[in-house]
Amino acid sequence: MNKGRGFVMTDIAEVLAQLPEADDPVVVLRSAVLSQGGFWPELQPASGLFEVQLFGVVGIGPSQAAAVDDWVEQAKAYLRTAA
């Protein structure tokens, strides 16, 4: 099941809830970024860093998947401190 496609996610907790059930977490986060009017490059750069910014949380990594993983960790930390 590819959750996240065409679905408007409105907060961090909602995005995090979709990820465990997703076939591909990158697709879920990409959909969330685009639903908020953000930009997501279609092609992965050959080298460098990929950055994901969503709901004030930033994830960085050498690939889209690594940046998504980092975003998830940063988002969980943000929710812990915000509670």
Encode pLDDT of 8-44 as tens digits: 567 999 999 999 999 999 999 999 999 999 999 887 6
pLDDT score of 47: 75
Q: How far apart are CA 78 and CA 65, in angstroms?
A: 20
Encode pLDDT of 50-76 as tens digits: 999 999 999 999 999 999 999 999 999
pLDDT score of 78: 93
Q: How far apart are CA 26 and CA 11, in angstroms?
A: 17
Phi, psi (degrees; rounded to nearest 5) at 66: -65, -40
Can you give the pTM of this predicted structure? 0.83
Q: Is 35 helix (H, G, I), strand (E, B) or coil?
A: helix
